Amino acid sequence: LSSDCSDVPIINALKRGVRVIELDIWPNASKDNIDVLHGRTLTTPVELIRCLRSIKDHAFVASEYPVVITLEDHLTPDLQAKVAEMVTETFGDILFTPNSESVKEFPSPESLKKRIIISTKPPKEYLEAKEKEKGDDSQHEKEKGDDSQHGKALGEDEAWGKEVPSLKGGTIEDYKDYNVDEDLNDEEEFDESDKSHHNEAPEYRRLIAIHAGKPKGGLAECLKVDPDKVRRLSLSEQQLEKAAINHGQQIVRFTQRNILRVYPKGTRIDSSNYNPLIGWMHGAQMVAFNMQGYGRSLWLMHGN
């Protein structure tokens, strides 16, 4: 929560063969440039351009397969345009950009060797995004309060990641009251019929090769396969565990054409990790880890 930000962990991850790098990007103190930092914490920032240059220099040291940069965007349209300029100038010809906004099928990893791919939500008006963040903050505070009521120290299940009951011979009783549709609040909802992009940076939007976001509606709607478009859906470790109980086949069908990203729950402030096997078993292509520590989850990711 209060450590220094640096591009060194990015370099180390790429040297280990990691193929997806997430950058949490925010306006700097003077609002005229872009920093990378863990938002709403005391972490010190590092300039975005430094991270981009480090990615370019080390992206293909361990593997020729493409590197995906996912952007957690908290920027105004003018700074989004600046990001587009930085990304284009830094990566040049190795940057993969689609010919149209709606990609019907992702190219194969083989055809994208030594390419950089950008993935983020299509930009929205900044004030709308800020309202969404306020709602997420309220939900996060509620979750923190619920967790604190239990008063338990992190046990093995908590640090390693609790498996879905079907994987350990239990029942679904533990999750019968959980409504995964109500918890799908990570990705901003979008309406394909909404063409009011008057406050967006078009050059930024054109960089996005893998569009993130979830359609309006619940989990069943999110997992529908669109034959005319592919996209990225993000689920927290908890959302995936619960969704796998009743929607396992739909998740596998979704990941055959689309990208599924799984990420650690927000309460892992100690940088612990979860069991990645659940995501891998259901075809998740992006299983995000906290890389700061050690443990069985990272051993599995490293192939140990």
**Digit-coded pLDDT (tens) for 182-210:** 455 544 444 444 443 445 678 898 899 99
CATH number of the domain that 28 lies in? 3.20.20.190
Q: What is the pTM of this model?
A: 0.73
Number of folded domains that form the chain = 1
134-177 residue pLDDT tens:
555 555 555 445 444 444 444 444 444 443 333 333 333 444 44
Say which residue, 44 or 111, is predicted with more confidence: 111
Distance in Å from the first CA to the final CA of the chain = 29
* Domain presence at residue 140: no
Q: What angle do CA 240, 244, 247 make, to 5 degrees?
A: 115
> How many other C-beta atoms lie within 10 A of the C-beta of residue 134?
10
Q: Which of 178, 162, 166, 183 is nearest to 245 (CA)?
A: 166
* Domain presence at residue 292: yes
* Domain presence at residue 181: yes
**Are β-strands 189-190 and 95-96 bridged in parallel, bridged antiparallel, or unpaired?**
unpaired
Which residues have a Cβ under 8 Å from the Cβ of 59 and sit 6 or more positions away? 14, 67, 114, 116
What is the spatial distance between Cα 184 and Cα 218, in angstroms, rounded to a whole number?
Answer: 7
In 45-204 the beta strands, taken as DSSP E runs, fall at 46-47, 67-73, 95-96, 116-120, 189-190
Residue 193: both structure tokens together:
């019929």
- Predicted confidence at residue 293, as pLDDT, reads 61
- Res 234 pLDDT > 60: yes
Residue 263: both structure tokens together:
């990420």
* Domain presence at residue 203: yes
Domain that holds residue 282: 8-133+153-302
Counting every residue, how long is the chain? Answer: 304
* Domain presence at residue 142: no
How confident is residue 122, by pLDDT bands cut at 50, 70 and 90? confident
* Domain presence at residue 123: yes
* Domain presence at residue 146: no
CB of 212 closer than 8 Å to CB of 222: no
Q: Computed over its alpha carbons, how large is the radius of gyration of the chain? A: 19
**DSSP secondary structure string for all residues of 7-51:** SHHHHHHHHTT--EEEEEEEE-TTSSSEEE--TTSSPBPEEHHHH
* Domain presence at residue 297: yes
Work out the angle between the directed axes of helices 8-15 and 48-58 (0-180°, nearest 10): 20
What is the spatial distance between Cα 5 and Cα 289, in angstroms, rounded to a whole number?
Answer: 17
What is the spatial distance between Cα 181 and Cα 279, in angstroms, rounded to a whole number?
Answer: 18
At position 152, the amino acid (one-letter code) is: K
